[in-house]
Amino acid sequence: MIKGDFKDKLINVIASIIAIIFILEQLGKKVIRNALLEQLYSRKSIILIKFKSVYRPLISSYNLLVDSSEKNTEKASDTPVWQCEPFILSGYRKQTFSYTKCFKSIFYLHNESVNILSHLFGVFLFLYMFSRDYYTAKETFVYSWHSKRNEFIIISFYNASAVFCMLFSSIYHTFNCHSKDHSTCWLKIDFIGILVLIFGTFLTGIYYGFYYFKWLFIFYTSLISIISIAALIVSVSEKFSNPHGRALRAKVFSGIAISGILPLLNIHYIYGIDMILRSIILQYLFYSLILYGIGVVIYANRFPERFWPGKFDLFMGSHQLFHISVLLAAYTYYHALSYAFFNDYILTLGYYYNTHLYPYTI
Ligand SMILES: [Zn+2]
């Protein structure tokens, strides 16, 4: 009897324990499920909150860097004509007549902020990439550094041309609220920067394209130099310095870009389309030119502010998009140059040309 009672009680206890475990398990699952869902929802909202909480305070704290008395933005209706950009209706800095005040304008939001910061970022990006590649090259080519040095000088020349372009551009956009005369002067510096970058791009392209054809390299380098000097003279002349000459300036730069087609046709004649399609430098040069082209078309047509005037005063205006496309194009091409340098691409080009073996591809 006692034994039977004990058995029943034991069964009851075990059943109760199993039931409790089951209930706890179910409860636990629910709790865990709820907790997971909660976390998921909270993550979702966190992302949304984060987006707003990062974006908004970032702008307001950026604006707090400079005392409010120093901030001088105004609408297009109050801004002198020489300073006005079509379809940009607000966010203009008042004329400062002071370089210190112009410099301080880097630290508050106006319609040139993205233009200044985007290319300032480019300056640091290219300087970082140069130092990274220099140290890697020194370590990688310990015994063959001498033979790789000329190639590295060419890459460094391109990097320097990108740094100059970005730096001159940032300087122009920072100081173009000083006064009309000073703005005109800095605008010329901006053009010189663009020309230097175009020249740097062509020179490296020609160097790689005609690496085994010395006289063609000399011929095209001379040709591009003459065209660049002519464009430089045209760009710094008074006629091209006013805002109405923008379409003409865009045409001058497009003309130089088109003049780069000639050496490309020659490279095509030597190596054929198959080789060009396999060549990472020429491929990436092509992508880079497309990015420049997109930037120029956007810039010349004032897209998107032409269709939504006043909506793109501070962010994503045509000039800002042009800056971003220049940054992307310059980076794309440098990426290809750097990759080719570390993978002995020059040798591959000739190797393929002489033996018809497959070259490296990315
Ligand atoms: Zn610009």
What per-residue confidence (pLDDT) applies to 77? 83
What per-residue confidence (pLDDT) applies to 308? 92
- How confident is the model over 90-108, as a mean pLDDT? 90
278: Cβ contacts below 8 Å, ≥ 6 apart: 352, 358, 359, 361
For the cut 80, the answer to whether the pLDDT of residue 246 exceeds it is no
Residue 267 CA to ligand 1 centre (angstroms)? 32
What per-residue confidence (pLDDT) applies to 341? 84
For the cut 50, the answer to whether the pLDDT of residue 359 exceeds it is no
Residue 310 CA to ligand 1 centre (angstroms)? 19
Of 214 and 20, the structure prediction assigns the larger pLDDT to: 214
Of 184 and 238, the structure prediction assigns the larger pLDDT to: 184
Question: What's the pTM value of the predicted model, to 2 decimals?
Answer: 0.75
What per-residue confidence (pLDDT) applies to 51? 57
Residue 262 CA to ligand 1 centre (angstroms)? 28
| pLDDT band, very low/low/confident/very high, at 1 (cuts 50, 70, 90) | very low
For the cut 90, the answer to whether the pLDDT of residue 23 exceeds it is no
On average, the pLDDT of the chain sits at: 81
Highest mean predicted confidence (pLDDT) among 249-253, 291-295, 358-362: 291-295
Angle at 236 between CA 232 and CA 242, to 5 degrees: 135
Residue 146 CA to ligand 1 centre (angstroms)? 39
For the cut 60, the answer to whether the pLDDT of residue 348 exceeds it is no
Residue stretches of the annotated binding site for Zn(2+): 173, 319, 323
Give the 3-state secondary structure of residue 93.
strand
Residue 325 CA to ligand 1 centre (angstroms)? 11
What per-residue confidence (pLDDT) applies to 299? 92
Residue 171 CA to ligand 1 centre (angstroms)? 10
For the cut 80, the answer to whether the pLDDT of residue 278 exceeds it is no
The DSSP secondary-structure symbol of 74 reads: E
275: Cβ contacts below 8 Å, ≥ 6 apart: 349, 352, 353, 359
Residue 307 CA to ligand 1 centre (angstroms)? 21
163: Cβ contacts below 8 Å, ≥ 6 apart: 122, 123, 126, 127, 130
Least confident piece of the model among 5-14, 70-79, 166-175, 261-270: 5-14
What per-residue confidence (pLDDT) applies to 39? 63
Residue 323 CA to ligand 1 centre (angstroms)? 6
Least confident piece of the model among 6-15, 30-39, 195-204, 335-344: 30-39
What per-residue confidence (pLDDT) applies to 159? 96
Least confident piece of the model among 233-237, 272-276, 320-324, 347-351: 347-351
Residue 169 CA to ligand 1 centre (angstroms)? 6
- How confident is the model over 290-312, as a mean pLDDT? 92
Residue 206 exposure: Cα atoms within 13 Å on the Cβ side: 23
High-pLDDT (> 70) share of the chain, %: 74
For the cut 60, the answer to whether the pLDDT of residue 355 exceeds it is no
Residue 133 CA to ligand 1 centre (angstroms)? 28
Residue 166 CA to ligand 1 centre (angstroms)? 9
- How confident is the model over 55-73, as a mean pLDDT? 64
Residue 56 CA to ligand 1 centre (angstroms)? 25
- Alpha-carbon radius of gyration of the chain: 30
| pLDDT band, very low/low/confident/very high, at 66 (cuts 50, 70, 90) | low
| pLDDT band, very low/low/confident/very high, at 358 (cuts 50, 70, 90) | very low
CB atoms within 10 A of CB 347: 12
Measured between its terminal Cα atoms, the distance across the chain in Å is 85
Omega before 359 cis (within 30°)? no
Sign of the C-alpha dihedral computed for residues 139, 143, 149 and 152 taken in this order: negative
For the cut 50, the answer to whether the pLDDT of residue 263 exceeds it is yes
Of 264 and 161, the structure prediction assigns the larger pLDDT to: 161
Q: Which fold has domain 82-357?
A: Rhopdopsin 7-helix transmembrane proteins (1.20.1070)
Find how far residue 82's CA is from the centre of its chain.
28
What per-residue confidence (pLDDT) applies to 120? 96
What per-residue confidence (pLDDT) applies to 357? 42
| pLDDT band, very low/low/confident/very high, at 69 (cuts 50, 70, 90) | low
The DSSP secondary-structure symbol of 210 reads: T
Residue stretches of the annotated binding site: 173, 319, 323
Least confident piece of the model among 112-121, 201-210, 290-299: 201-210
